[in-house]
Amino acid sequence: MTLAYWNGTYSPLDEVRISPLDRGFLFADGVYEVVAVYDGQIFELDAHLDRLARSLAAVRIDPGLDRAALAAVFLRLAETAPRPAATIYMQVTRGAPAQRSHAFPASAQASILAFAGPLKRLGRAQQKDGFALVSAPDIRWLRCDIKSIALLPSVLAAQQAAEAGVLETVMIRDGLVSECAASNVFVVKDGRVATPVADHRILDGINRRIAIRLAMELGIPVEQRDVAEAELRAADEIWITSTTKELAPIVRLDGAAVGSGRPGPVWRRVREAFDGLVGEPA
């Protein structure tokens, strides 16, 4: 049984009933968060709550719960979340007014849905071999910093990766790397790490921040700046980061080898530091 939180009540997920007039359903008018849970402990909850608050403020949704109450929902769901690793998904929409109309309703309470599910971590053996990416144009809007539930371009990009049998699709806008369908991108050249700056063009990933911090603590130079597509294709190493993919080494891009074609030494050092925080995967 998967436990869910829905507008103040906990129940089995398959018993939750949502109005067809919910603006999340009709307009994708909502935002979301995904946290990882390792052995019952939520990883970086404060950072996720900060980002949820930023997303909500950007689209002017009042969740009707304060930060402590939102945190309490995550913590309650973490208690019964699958072990050893899980994710908790939370989405907040602008609610279900009586009529469908594009502009904000005069009165409607936000709808909040949250539930946990198992996180299948990318295993040690897979990481030793590394993963592949394909590339695609970034066809998304210009507020990718908002973690919006309007994800159709990301769905298409993820499907492209699925059909190619690779881990992710890296998106390119105006000759620059933005990010993957649901992860951030790092490149390494001559021992220096670069990752796109977290502005309106990408989501400021929580594991992106962790990877930057860990690399800097290890004395590895990290630049947050525009990264050209040509740099991606000439990189010694590529990594991607996300809550679910953690910190994954990329060894092929559009069928061509990345660097030596094996996970690189800079990735390995940062990955070891990451595993020091969350424990090694199986």
Which residues in this chain contact ligand PLP in the complex, by CB under 6 A?
Answer: 34, 179, 182-184, 203, 205-208, 241-243
**24-to-29, 92, 230 alpha-carbon distances in Å:** 5, 8, 38
Min. distance of Cβ 107 from ligand PLP in angstroms?
Answer: 31
Distance of CA 105 to the CA centre of its chain: 29
179 or 237: CB nearest ligand PLP: 179
97 or 241: CB nearest ligand PLP: 241
How far is the C-alpha of 89 from the C-alpha of 83, rounded, in Å? 16
Q: Whose structure tokens read 């071999």?
A: 129
Here the tokens at position 93 are 């929409």
67-85 in b/e burial notation, b at 16+ Cβ within 10 A?
Answer: eeebbebbebbbeebeeeb
Active-site annotation holds for 245 = no
Min. distance of Cβ 100 from ligand PLP in angstroms?
Answer: 27
How far is the C-alpha of 229 from the C-alpha of 239, rounded, in Å? 15
Min. distance of Cβ 109 from ligand PLP in angstroms?
Answer: 26
94 or 208: CB nearest ligand PLP: 208
Paired strand residues for 237:
188
CA quadruple 17, 22, 27, 29: dihedral positive or negative? negative
Nearest residue to ligand PLP by CB is 205
Min. distance of Cβ 61 from ligand PLP in angstroms?
Answer: 18
Min. distance of Cβ 35 from ligand PLP in angstroms?
Answer: 9
Closest CA to 32 of 90, 96, 82: 90
How far is the C-alpha of 123 from the C-alpha of 282, rounded, in Å? 5
How far is the C-alpha of 103 from the C-alpha of 93, rounded, in Å? 14
77 or 203: CB nearest ligand PLP: 203
Q: Which of 120, 128, 147, 189 is catalytic?
A: 147
Among all residues, which ones are annotated catalytic? 147
